[in-house]
């Protein structure tokens, strides 16, 4: 077909552009760009998490003050007595740390021995705890018994009036003995002191 001549109908006009829709699309793109930039900035500048502080071993029911030690050795047999000494002769430990603490409560002052024994493994550690938990089987000598701590008026903390507690964790055995000064007596309180002092064994690893 031949094209229309000069006398033919004029070409149809182009539809008008929707400027409002274009403006909305442009605004949306700008908003997306702004949000993306903001997210990127937040990611790059995110504050580092604040580390959680470890609970110190000093926090507990009683407050303890170190008065002697820690003394560290690998010869447990020479620092023990009774059946416990024989046990160490047959089954040597790998490390022994001993210390003395004091604490006061209700007008009474207590002297506390804390011992941390490291054995070759979990089995021998459990055997040691089982042995020292029994009466009449000896123990690791505290620093009063072996004459290291010579403070005047220090109570003997390995007698019948003393409180005892122990704990085994892996190859480590913590042993605590506690006694009041001036021959004061309150066995329930003394036993709570001994149990609370077990946490101090963590300081003896250093």
Per-residue pLDDT tens digits for 99-129: 999 999 999 999 999 999 999 999 999 999 9
Residue 142's pLDDT is what?
Answer: 96
Tell me: pLDDT of 147 over 70. yes
Give the pLDDT of residue 148: 94
The pLDDT, as a whole number, for residue 189 is: 96
**pLDDT (mean) for 152-167:** 92
Q: What is the mean pLDDT of residues 169-193?
A: 96
pLDDT interval class at 206 (50, 70, 90):
confident
- Top-confidence residue, 58 or 188: 188
CA separation for the pair 206, 202 (Å, rounded): 8
The residues, ordered by sequence, that sit 6+ positions from 63 with a Cβ below 8 Å of its Cβ are 103
Can you give the pLDDT at residue 103? 97
Cα–Cα distances in Å, from 103 out to 43, 164, 192?
Answer: 51, 16, 12
User: How many C-beta atoms lie closer than 10 Å to residue 141's C-beta?
Assistant: 22
* Angstrom distance (rounded) from CA 205 to CA 96: 9
pLDDT band at 26 (very low <50, low <70, confident <90, very high): low
Prediction pTM value? 0.71
């Amino acid at each position: 077909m031949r094209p229309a001549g000069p006398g033919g109908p004029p070409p149809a006009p182009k539809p008008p552009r929707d400027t409002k829709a274009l403006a909305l699309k442009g605004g949306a793109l700008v908003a997306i760009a702004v949000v993306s930039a903001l997210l990127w900035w937040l990611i790059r500048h995110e504050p580092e998490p604040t580390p959680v502080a470890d609970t110190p071993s000093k926090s507990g029911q009683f407050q303890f003050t170190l008065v002697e030690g820690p003394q560290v050795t690998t010869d447990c047999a020479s620092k023990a007595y009774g059946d416990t000494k024989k046990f160490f002769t047959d089954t040597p430990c790998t490390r022994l740390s001993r210390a003395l603490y004091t604490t006061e409560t209700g007008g009474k002052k207590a002297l506390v021995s804390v011992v941390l024994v490291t054995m070759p493994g979990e089995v021998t550690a459990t055997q040691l705890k089982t042995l020292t938990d029994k009466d009449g089987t000896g123990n690791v000598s505290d620093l009063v018994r072996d004459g290291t701590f010579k403070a005047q008026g220090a109570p003997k903390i390995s007698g019948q009036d003393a409180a005892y507690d122990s704990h085994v964790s892996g190859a480590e055995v913590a042993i605590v003995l506690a006694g009041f000064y001036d021959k004061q007596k309150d066995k329930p309180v003394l036993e709570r002191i001994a149990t609370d002092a077990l946490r101090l064994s963590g300081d003896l690893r250093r």
